[in-house]
């Protein structure tokens, strides 16, 4: 309950640690305590299906319980929203609403949303309105603070409680456009504070939630309240929603959840829409060299660099961050940072299915994945056009071979071919003869023909009529396999006539 308080009466405050005077305490917060209260955020497990982008411990209670804020929505959105589920530990309805938003299987878009289930975890554990010090946290804010006692004890000074200080620091850090504070049991939507600053918001919430509009003015004036401080000292609108004493779970997790998100300009989308966005610009092979390139970005963090894992089937080839500058992508999608990636590697001949996996570090259903099929033909190619033997005397017979050869990895360069006789290399010669027909057919440049006549010593030990195998092989100069490819063989024999 956010609005009622008793008239002040003398009460001895509970025993507690010494606190700073009011002025010094507020100045200390403004000077730098805010940063100390806000540790670095943590992220959900990569690949987990969640609408949560990150979680942050914004402070701790008197008993050292964490006060956790969950970030959802689109961090790049200028519309910052905070939904506080609980300030008073004996008002559980708002916690149910907050947890249902955090657990929903839909992404939030259009707003940068933070959800805090409770800022009073000690009170929630004890089922008490106040914190462990007996302080009503909604009377402990530096706005028209007064010394209240009894059920609405306001503490020895404004911001005397660690829970209030944590929330105070977080609000000043985020500077929300909307702060929605959930309470029980007065059953209505407030028309004061944020409801007065932005009447349309109050009307929309009341209509969406099926609640009446009410002026929660604490019988005359609300002293030391959070939404009062928000209205007086911040630009955003802080509004109180009060549920009845026992609203149904279906109402809170259905109508209320959707109604609040809609009223603060939030929209729902599929969780998969929050997976990393990516595109493959290029996936092809030149010879045995494959180039796989594109871009990717994290919709939950437009400045983040996404890690990319590249697979050939089930085999991981490489992992690298998308650190290539892509000004075109940044301009089209309103990004900053680097989002391009490029892999270059050698591959064996044949058909390959290469898949890039984009590691999700925010909301969504998991990692994104894009695959492309690439045919690799990087081994040397060519043809043995002719192989002949002249002469009938082994001592003077001559072997002549001719053809062409090229390596797709260096298509404009002349490469060497080896002529073997019965498996033994007889000669190595460059394929540097002009072959316009080959260039035209293979769409290459350079010289790729060869024609060579082996010396008579090659056949000196041959016997008439016995066949011998003559082959032409070409070594692979590219990164594919490093083995020699055969251009063809012929069986030759010296004729007796």
Q: What is the 3-state secondary structure (H, E, C) of 35-49?
A: HHHCCCCECCCCCCC
Give which of 250, 2, 14 is closest to 131, Cα–Cα: 14
Decide if 477 is inside a domain. Answer: yes
Query: The domain that contains 201 carries what CATH number?
Result: 3.40.630.10
Tokens linked to 415: 């490469």
Of the residues 341, 376, 411, which one is the last residue of a structural domain?
Answer: 376
Decide if 473 is inside a domain. Answer: yes
**72 exposed, middle or buried (CB, 10 Å; 0-12, 13-18, 19+)?**
buried
**184 exposed, middle or buried (CB, 10 Å; 0-12, 13-18, 19+)?**
buried
The CB density around residue 117, as the number of other CB atoms within 10 Å, is: 23
Decide if 205 is inside a domain. Answer: yes
Give which of 337, 327, 324 is closest to 294, Cα–Cα: 324
Q: Are 298 and 441 found together in one domain?
A: no
Identify the pLDDT of residue 5. 41
Identify the pLDDT of residue 11. 36
Query: The domain that contains 451 carries what CATH number?
Result: 2.60.40.10
Blockwise average pLDDT, block size 10, the chain, 497 residues: 42 37 40 40 55 94 97 93 97 96 93 97 96 96 90 94 97 96 95 90 96 86 88 92 96 97 94 94 92 95 95 96 96 95 92 96 92 92 94 90 92 93 93 96 94 90 91 80 77 86
Q: Are 348 and 385 found together in one domain?
A: no
Residue 95, helix vs strand vs coil: helix
What distance in Å separates the CA atoms of residue 226 and residue 238, rounded to the nearest whole number? Answer: 8
Identify the pLDDT of residue 483. 58
Evaluate the CA torsion angle 41, 46, 52, 53 in order and state its sign. Answer: positive
Identify the pLDDT of residue 91. 96
What distance in Å separates the CA atoms of residue 253 and residue 36, rounded to the nearest whole number? Answer: 34
Of the residues 332, 361, 376, which one is the last residue of a structural domain?
Answer: 376
Query: The domain that contains 330 carries what CATH number?
Result: 2.60.40.650
Q: Are 110 and 245 found together in one domain?
A: yes
Of the residues 242, 271, 300, which one is the last residue of a structural domain?
Answer: 271
Residue 141 and residue 158 in contact, taking contact as beta carbons nearer than 8 Å: yes
Identify the pLDDT of residue 392. 87
Domain range for residue 294?
275-376
Number of folded domains that form the chain = 3
Decide if 363 is inside a domain. Answer: yes
- Residue 76 is classified by DSSP as T
Q: Are 44 and 130 found together in one domain?
A: yes
Q: Are 314 and 425 found together in one domain?
A: no
Mean residue pLDDT across the chain:
88
Q: Are 314 and 239 found together in one domain?
A: no
Q: Are 441 and 455 found together in one domain?
A: yes
What distance in Å separates the CA atoms of residue 47 and residue 361, rounded to the nearest whole number? Answer: 7
Residue 489 and residue 433 in contact, taking contact as beta carbons nearer than 8 Å: no
Tokens linked to 106: 């839909």
Decide if 299 is inside a domain. Answer: yes
- Residue 263 is classified by DSSP as H
Give which of 250, 333, 202, 224 is closest to 3, Cα–Cα: 224
What distance in Å separates the CA atoms of residue 325 and residue 448, rounded to the nearest whole number? Answer: 39
Q: Are 75 and 202 found together in one domain?
A: yes
Q: Are 324 and 199 found together in one domain?
A: no
Evaluate the CA torsion angle 202, 203, 205, 211 in order and state its sign. Answer: positive
| 51 CB-near residues (< 8 Å, 6+ apart) | 72, 102, 104, 105, 106, 107, 108, 271, 274, 363
What distance in Å separates the CA atoms of residue 291 and residue 458, rounded to the nearest whole number? Answer: 45
């Amino acid at each position: 309950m956010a609005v009622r308080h008793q008239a002040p009466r003398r009460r001895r405050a509970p025993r507690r640690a010494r606190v700073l005077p009011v002025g010094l305490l507020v100045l200390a917060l403004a000077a730098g305590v805010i940063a100390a209260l806000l540790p670095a955020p943590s992220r959900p497990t990569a690949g987990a299906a969640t609408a949560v982008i990150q979680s942050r411990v914004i402070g701790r209670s008197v008993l050292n319980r964490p006060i956790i804020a969950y970030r959802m929505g689109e961090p790049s959105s200028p519309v910052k929203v905070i939904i506080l589920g609980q300030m008073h530990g004996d008002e559980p309805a708002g916690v149910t609403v907050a947890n249902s938003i955090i657990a929903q299987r839909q992404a939030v878009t259009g707003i940068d949303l933070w959800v805090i289930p409770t800022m009073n975890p000690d009170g929630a554990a004890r089922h008490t309105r106040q914190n462990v010090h007996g302080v009503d946290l909604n009377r402990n804010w530096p706005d028209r603070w007064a010394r209240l006692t009894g059920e609405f004890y306001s503490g020895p000074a404004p911001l005397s409680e660690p829970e209030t200080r944590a929330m105070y620091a977080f609000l000043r850090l985020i500077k929300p456009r909307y702060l929605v504070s959930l309470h029980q049991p007065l059953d209505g939507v407030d028309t004061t504070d944020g409801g007065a600053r932005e009447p349309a918001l109050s009307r929309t919430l009341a209509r969406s939630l099926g609640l009446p509009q009410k002026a929660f003015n604490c019988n005359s004036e609300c002293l030391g309240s959070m939404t009062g401080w928000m209205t007086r000292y911040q630009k955003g609108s802080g509004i109180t929603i009060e549920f009845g004493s026992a609203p149904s779970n279906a109402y809170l997790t259905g109508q209320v959840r959707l109604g609040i998100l809609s009223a603060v300009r939030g929209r729902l989308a599929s969780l998969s829409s929050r997976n990393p966005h990516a595109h493959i610009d290029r996936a092809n092979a030149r010879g045995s060299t494959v180039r796989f390139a594109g871009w990717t970005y994290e919709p939950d963090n437009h400045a983040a660099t996404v890690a990319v894992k590249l697979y050939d089937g089930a085999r991981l080839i490489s992992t690298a961050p998308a650190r290539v500058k892509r000004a075109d992508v940044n301009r089209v999608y309103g990004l900053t940072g680097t989002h391009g990636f490029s892999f270059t590697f050698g591959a064996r001949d044949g058909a390959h299915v290469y898949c890039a996996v984009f590691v999700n570090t925010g909301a969504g259903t998991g990692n994104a994945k894009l695959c492309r099929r690439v045919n690799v033909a990087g081994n040397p190619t060519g043809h043995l056009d002719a192989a002949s033997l002249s002469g009938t005397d082994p001592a003077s017979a001559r072997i002549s071979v001719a053809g062409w050869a090229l390596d797709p990895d260096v298509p404009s360069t002349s490469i060497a071919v080896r002529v073997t006789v019965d498996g033994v290399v007889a000669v190595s010669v460059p394929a540097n003869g002009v072959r316009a027909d080959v260039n035209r057919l293979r769409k290459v440049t350079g010289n790729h023909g060869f024609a060579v006549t082996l010396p008579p010593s090659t056949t000196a030990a041959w016997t008439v009529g016995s066949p011998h195998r003559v082959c032409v092989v070409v070594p692979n100069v590219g990164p594919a396999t490093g083995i020699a490819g055969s251009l063809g063989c012929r069986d030759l024999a010296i004729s007796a006539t």
